[in-house]
Structure 1
């Protein structure tokens, strides 16, 4: 993927600081002074200045020292012979630093004050209600440590950008957010500031959200997990959220099942080997698999042979081989093809700044392996004065005799030599001569040794050159398109050398464990699985033998009229197309960002047009030919990501449309099984901030294949970025814990860095287990025939309106109406108003009738459900308005609780219910996220739950049950017909044990009573 990942900066609010006096002559600045030599250092030190540091310019040379000095001290130094030669920080600098520090401290303190107000049940007078919203709180652990990840978003954020020589420097303007977290008993566990996650790929920077990851301790330290978090803004607003487990602590391992076979990858494979591997597997297991030859051959592991005449280097004892990337060690030859000492031809090196005008580039018409590598060329040292420029061809040897003047000095320019070679009838059939890049070729050429033309490919001869066939292995007991299809494909980027191991390890596990492992057998019997081990086999081979290569080996730079003259061999490793930018949805050709259409040397060059590359067309052919494919996973490295669409936006950051909220939830739902599978191998925990839509957690990738899969073919297109740095290594000698950065070319086996031992092997193992999790998600999808169950739950009442949220037993899209009409999928969807946030509650006025349906990703739809809220007074007339009326007659209160005495206390109140609905239900729930279902006294939570029951006044008491939460309220009473003035007695029960701790003060809890109906 693209090398830029993102920026997480510490939040700093902007405030107007108190007036500060301007710096004066007595204020110091950090100034540089130059000393004649280090011998003068003691003399300077004797002046008594506040020294900062010294840097010696070289042995016996002058010394630069820095010191904090006032205006008078500068004059004192000059009088002593020490001249000031530069300023590190002027005297006004500290004022700016102080203002920035004060503003940050002020913002931090304001946020902490808001947290304290919230703990005391107070709201700051400066609060902007609901201007800060907690959106995620996930606790998890990796192999050594426990973490809490918190996300929130805030209103009123902007960026002020100032142009710089390297781009823009954007300053964050907005509130500071502080977080604190609590255990299940309400005890505070910690607090910290949230950083700002921004996208600097647009101008100005784009605010995404706030987040930070906090280390909680060591794995197995016995400390409790967080239960709730509280976010406070420096503007005084506060929000709370329940914390949840992100990844299971010890997820079951697919590979730990008795007899399960794994660990099939023993080394990295080149392109030919990877595709042969899946062909061989299909031949070995024909009962459950087959090899599918893809329609087109790749561009090929091949290049034209080239050299650059006129650019040479002189080998010497210190540098015997000045151009080490040659196909073979450079040996200089004379005209008799005898080895001699002297100059080395610079076949593929970037020249210095003096030479380019004198360079002649020769490119063979045949590819190197087809004859180009057999050619040689030489600018022959002149032997006579006043000779004319001439070109000759002897066998495969091109000889250029340059023109000379009366003294025998060469006068031919590079441009003249280019014209002469291209005009030669025989030589021009073998090579094309060109000038170097944008240079005019006005420099006089230099004679040198014989220069063999070379394609500069270093793979051994056993690795075939030229275009190659690509194959997919199709695995499944029933491969007729009737089963849900899953498509895994690896190594679109050739330099991501560990990725193909994930695909091959997945294929090996599936075929070799079939019939012995129940889970594998279930997957193969009920899914149709397609695996392409390397989408970019040419780039993969190049990365193993030649140089790190992201792109394929196409050579569109040959079109010099479109891309300029970039065909010299020094540019050879920058030719090619980024295959993951060559697709048709959200592409650079449609105005999206994250690729280049004009620079053929760019790492993200998208090609001549959409689908210009056969490898991309092959990948698309799989998706469009086998229409039963519903899930796909594009496996990249590195960084440890699990992502999905949308993956592209315009320069104005207008993204491809987000999928429905229910579909995004389905992605999250699948992520649970995938990430559990990954962690099961060696405890690698992919972080919450690295899981989600590509543009929310990484960047814009115009024309990527996951967007192609989803928006064009209706396939859930996932992306892996294997090779995370989140695993930790404890040095056995020092006990120090460090995080390993695997990169895109990790060692496969033993490494000099113990932190990365066997990294390539482990990545193939753990992400193959992640693929098993994805296949399980696909199987769950295939078996899903049940509509989702969605309920509307009530929360707090504010300003005469009640907050209502939806809860669902599975990922689903929820559509609702408020005007009494029947909802459809064209109705309003309940979804958040910004990426990665939670949907805001509906704020419903009294007498609102809410109707909704829910549809899961499979398309299973629930029946219409209805709830009515509040009441409407009746008027004289012939109709009866919809009425749901609940009147509570006072708040119940327990008698004083006595510490040390086991007792059960009761309290009661009465109520009256009027309902014109066909049925009605009274529920009670605790909307608080702190001590839910318990009485609380500040941060103290009653040990035993609060219980309740309701009965018709005058009848015998019923059994007491714990008060529920807003999401799962306690059903207290049910009416199967309309009632008017129905008398209720509502009772509460609080049990206190003899050893239950009690804190002086009042224990209380606001509760939400809801009267609802399914038959308005």
Structure 2
């Protein structure tokens, strides 16, 4: 720490000590200062501290003024975001703690002292790379050049990649002709977690160009044809007499399962209800009360019984017994706990919070437990007060507080495991109210169209369909009746220091971070294993939650499930594995090039079905593997299904942004839009879920082996050759380069890069390539058997002179 910064910190400490010594409860609106109930001891001179640059969230102008008054070292960066002022500052840990008392909190740590040193080394390395790139022409690839028309306008979307993309100075510009006029625009560079992904452009157009040209400032160029992203004309006439629209309001868990049971009764030949074995913790809480208004005098009392099982009937009273030199005494009389506080010779109460807590935990332990407020020492003197305990839950009595049995709706003419299985599950996150409607609407359509719609009949007759309307019923009930932004379930793993009633909306486990593949426990990014109140808290261990274990049970016990859709909201994404990466941004293993091609091909069908309802376009920038279009989600359930069970698993994020033509911008719809909007989302994504079911049907009926071709094939060449494979359909290619028989253990063709196509094989010496292909349905090219001594694999020999 510099001498000037040490002097400034001492000044701040004097100011802070003076303020807290005054005992103000409020300095000015919005900025609270803790009240000191007992004399504060002298504070030692702070030890030398490291310095970092952080982004502060400052609630108002007065708070900003306070920053200046305290002499906080501000940088020159400040901006307003959602009504909150964000200011960057150079601070020590002690300053951060002091600023919290003024309502100013750290949003993000930008640079630490160690990072400064690393950044210096990084910059030096980057300048070397940039100098190297500048000396040679780069290569540009156009990954996508699409147009699409949504509810209100036509857009041009371009993704391009440059070999020099690791340098931020590399710029790409697109040019095209629109109504006879040449137009151009720069592409945005997209970098995620330190990895260059691609450059992209998206903007409204008045006419559709036939082609685009992308040029790099380093000289590279590429030209591509503009094609339609979604909504291409499809053969056949629209369906007639196809009934739909079976939801008219948001449905809580009880309603969802009542509807499911009604369908099972109405269609006994087509439906059964599967009770999952792992009951949830229940929509229930222990009853609590917080007695006292300041941190070191407060006592948090928690019932031993659930609120609805007697905890809500308890009350606690701290009182002055009215005598001098009285001892501290606790009396537990039925539903009332009476605490006679100790008094001194003048009759004044002298019991500290910690003393009262010790007495309660000794003499009323059959009814309650007690703790200080958030780990405070409890040295303050408590005051007489009375409080009634409550679990704080507001759902009506007809909403059960007991552990909940999660159910799956199983639909199919033959539900004996002989048919390929398809799984759709919703509401892992409680606040996503639209998602269960997608499953219920889908169930209704499958059953009510079965008798007269041929396509529906073939789906139900030839597939085993599992729909789980709500994975997280406890959290869903809490979202509906108590706190609508609840994300997690309701299980509280926080200790006493984080279990006071004011934290009740932060408890729980993120069920889509609780699975065993790519989890935070294994070091993957996107979840917390230590912060119990984090929105992405992964729980105390992998699969700790019954809700997560139910999904595992379903996949374990119904091995015929081959396809799955995890339905979330909002944002209009369509994603698949890998779903997580480590701190070095190394993802879980990427699908093979053939598997990735199948994901994309199937997605085209599913997204077209979504668009059919009202024109909603799931953007190409929001379609693809999870880390490529969103962020790392350690321990998500789709990764478990894909990597452990081999299930093709997608993720919907319903609720695509809506384009406001007047304002010329995208607008988010939220987790709980008006039902008019939520209804539309349910309709279009039910289309999509049935689209995924159709993909499963077509896959099951696919008995045609793929065919492949190596380009170039047999021949003599004067130099190194890049060999690529042409395939008749999405298929994984296994190959050898040493003349041996290819098997499933052989190398396979991978992706050439993020969001790119299949790699090529570089052959620089005489080589025999042996290979075979297998498609997503398991058909093997030429009916070759890799497990036998069969010789009918493909083979070419490239002779390099």
Give the TM-score category using the shorter length.
0.7 to 0.9
Q: Secondary structure at the match of 2:477?
A: helix
Contact residue 768 and residue 797 of structure 2 kept, 8 A: yes
Find the counterpart in structure 1 of residue 262 from structure 2. 280
State the 1:151 CA deviation. Answer: 1.6
CA distance, structure 1, for counterparts of residue 314 and residue 674 of structure 2: 37
Pick from 179, 188, 207: which aligns with 2:174?
Answer: 179
- The more displaced of 859-868 and 137-146 is 859-868
Q: Deviations over 1:143-185 (max 9, x none)?
A: 1111222222233444xxxxxxxxxxxxx634112223468x9
Q: Secondary structure at the match of 1:486?
A: strand
Pick from 591, 596, 606: which aligns with 1:659?
Answer: 591
Aligned CA distance change for structure 1 residues 867 and 242 (closer, same or farther; 3 Å): farther
Contact residue 138 and residue 218 of structure 2 kept, 8 A: no
CA distance, structure 2, for counterparts of residue 543 and residue 647 of structure 1: 26
Q: Does 1:554 align with 2:495?
A: no
CA distance, structure 1, for counterparts of residue 725 and residue 177 of structure 2: 25
Q: Secondary structure at the match of 2:151?
A: coil
Find the counterpart in structure 1 of residue 342 from structure 2. 403
Aligned CA distance change for structure 1 residues 454 and 360 (closer, same or farther; 3 Å): same
Q: Secondary structure at the match of 2:263?
A: helix
Pick from 657, 673, 681: which aligns with 1:746?
Answer: 673
Q: Secondary structure at the match of 1:358?
A: coil
State the 1:854 CA deviation. Answer: 2.5
CA distance, structure 1, for counterparts of residue 746 and residue 703 of structure 2: 23
Q: Does 1:477 align with 2:413?
A: yes
Q: Deviations over 1:967-993 (max 9, x none)?
A: xxxxxxxxxxxxxxxxxxxxxxxxxxx
State the 1:762 CA deviation. Answer: 1.1
CA distance, structure 2, for counterparts of residue 613 and residue 378 of structure 1: 37
Find the counterpart in structure 2 of residue 724 from structure 1. 656
Contact residue 729 and residue 738 of structure 1 kept, 8 A: yes
Q: Secondary structure at the match of 2:548?
A: helix
1:223-372 aligned at under 5 Å gives the runs 223-224=207-208, 226-249=209-232, 257-311=239-293, 355-372=294-311
1:880-895 aligned at under 5 Å gives the runs none
Aligned CA distance change for structure 1 residues 253 and 421 (closer, same or farther; 3 Å): farther
1:854-1003 aligned at under 5 Å gives the runs 854-863=773-782, 864-865=793-794
Contact residue 289 and residue 390 of structure 2 kept, 8 A: yes
Find the counterpart in structure 1 of residue 160 from structure 2. 152
State the 1:774 CA deviation. Answer: 0.4
State the 1:789 CA deviation. Answer: 3.0
CA distance, structure 2, for counterparts of residue 391 and residue 473 of structure 1: 53
Find the counterpart in structure 1 of residue 56 from structure 2. none
Aligned CA distance change for structure 1 residues 572 and 737 (closer, same or farther; 3 Å): same
Pick from 370, 373, 376: which aligns with 1:439?
Answer: 376
Contact residue 633 and residue 718 of structure 1 kept, 8 A: yes
So what's the TM-score if we normalise by structure 1? 0.62
Contact residue 299 and residue 371 of structure 2 kept, 8 A: yes
Find the counterpart in structure 1 of residue 527 from structure 2. 595
Find the counterpart in structure 1 of residue 189 from structure 2. 196
State the 1:816 CA deviation. Answer: 4.8
Q: Does 1:498 align with 2:434?
A: yes
So what's the TM-score if we normalise by structure 2? 0.78
CA distance, structure 2, for counterparts of residue 137 and residue 818 of structure 1: 35
State the 1:849 CA deviation. Answer: 6.5
Contact residue 247 and residue 676 of structure 1 kept, 8 A: yes
State the 1:855 CA deviation. Answer: 1.9
CA distance, structure 1, for counterparts of residue 525 and residue 227 of structure 2: 35
Q: Deviations over 1:647-675 (max 9, x none)?
A: 11221222211111100111111101110
Q: Does 1:853 align with 2:772?
A: yes
Find the counterpart in structure 1 of residue 352 from structure 2. 413
Aligned CA distance change for structure 1 residues 518 and 136 (closer, same or farther; 3 Å): same
Aligned CA distance change for structure 1 residues 237 and 741 (closer, same or farther; 3 Å): same
CA distance, structure 2, for counterparts of residue 682 and residue 619 of structure 1: 32
Find the counterpart in structure 1 of residue 144 from structure 2. 136
State the 1:862 CA deviation. Answer: 2.1
Any unmatched runs of 5+ in structure 2?
1-59, 66-72, 78-132, 783-792
Contact residue 250 and residue 680 of structure 1 kept, 8 A: no
Find the counterpart in structure 2 of residue 960 from structure 1. none
State the 1:290 CA deviation. Answer: 0.6
Contact residue 315 and residue 337 of structure 2 kept, 8 A: yes
Contact residue 251 and residue 679 of structure 1 kept, 8 A: no
Find the counterpart in structure 2 of residue 630 from structure 1. 562
Find the counterpart in structure 2 of residue 206 from structure 1. 195
State the 1:461 CA deviation. Answer: 1.4
Q: Secondary structure at the match of 2:497?
A: coil
Q: Secondary structure at the match of 1:542?
A: helix
Find the counterpart in structure 2 of residue 514 from structure 1. 450
Any unmatched runs of 5+ in structure 1?
1-55, 63-84, 90-123, 159-171, 218-222, 312-354, 749-757, 873-1016
Q: Deviations over 1:770-799 (max 9, x none)?
A: 01110111011000111223344569x999
Contact residue 849 and residue 868 of structure 1 kept, 8 A: yes
Aligned CA distance change for structure 1 residues 782 and 175 (closer, same or farther; 3 Å): same
Structure number with larger C-alpha Rg = 1
Q: Secondary structure at the match of 2:704?
A: coil
CA distance, structure 1, for counterparts of residue 384 and residue 718 of structure 2: 90
Pick from 392, 397, 400: which aligns with 1:461?
Answer: 397
Contact residue 376 and residue 451 of structure 1 kept, 8 A: yes
Contact residue 644 and residue 694 of structure 1 kept, 8 A: yes
State the 1:693 CA deviation. Answer: 1.0
Q: Deviations over 1:513-548 (max 9, x none)?
A: 111122211110111100111000000010011012
Contact residue 391 and residue 399 of structure 1 kept, 8 A: yes
State the 1:800 CA deviation. Answer: 5.5
- The more displaced of 136-145 and 820-829 is 820-829
CA distance, structure 1, for counterparts of residue 342 and residue 304 of structure 2: 26
Contact residue 309 and residue 378 of structure 1 kept, 8 A: no
Find the counterpart in structure 2 of residue 540 from structure 1. 476
CA distance, structure 1, for counterparts of residue 720 and residue 211 of structure 2: 26
Aligned CA distance change for structure 1 residues 86 and 482 (closer, same or farther; 3 Å): closer
Find the counterpart in structure 1 of residue 118 from structure 2. none
Aligned CA distance change for structure 1 residues 826 and 86 (closer, same or farther; 3 Å): closer
Count of paired positions:
666
Q: Secondary structure at the match of 1:723?
A: strand
Q: Secondary structure at the match of 1:429?
A: coil
Q: Secondary structure at the match of 1:369?
A: helix
Q: Secondary structure at the match of 1:710?
A: helix
CA-based RMSD = 3.1
Aligned CA distance change for structure 1 residues 189 and 421 (closer, same or farther; 3 Å): same
Aligned CA distance change for structure 1 residues 87 and 442 (closer, same or farther; 3 Å): closer
Contact residue 424 and residue 466 of structure 2 kept, 8 A: yes
Q: Secondary structure at the match of 1:364?
A: strand
CA distance, structure 1, for counterparts of residue 182 and residue 516 of structure 2: 50
Q: Secondary structure at the match of 2:516?
A: coil
Pick from 764, 789, 808: which aligns with 2:682?
Answer: 764
State the 1:722 CA deviation. Answer: 0.8
Q: Secondary structure at the match of 2:376?
A: coil
State the 1:498 CA deviation. Answer: 1.3
Find the counterpart in structure 2 of residue 932 from structure 1. none
Contact residue 180 and residue 188 of structure 1 kept, 8 A: no
Q: Secondary structure at the match of 1:580?
A: helix
State the 1:378 CA deviation. Answer: 2.1
Find the counterpart in structure 1 of residue 704 from structure 2. 786
Q: Secondary structure at the match of 2:218?
A: coil
Contact residue 126 and residue 236 of structure 1 kept, 8 A: no
State the 1:139 CA deviation. Answer: 2.0
Q: Does 1:612 align with 2:544?
A: yes
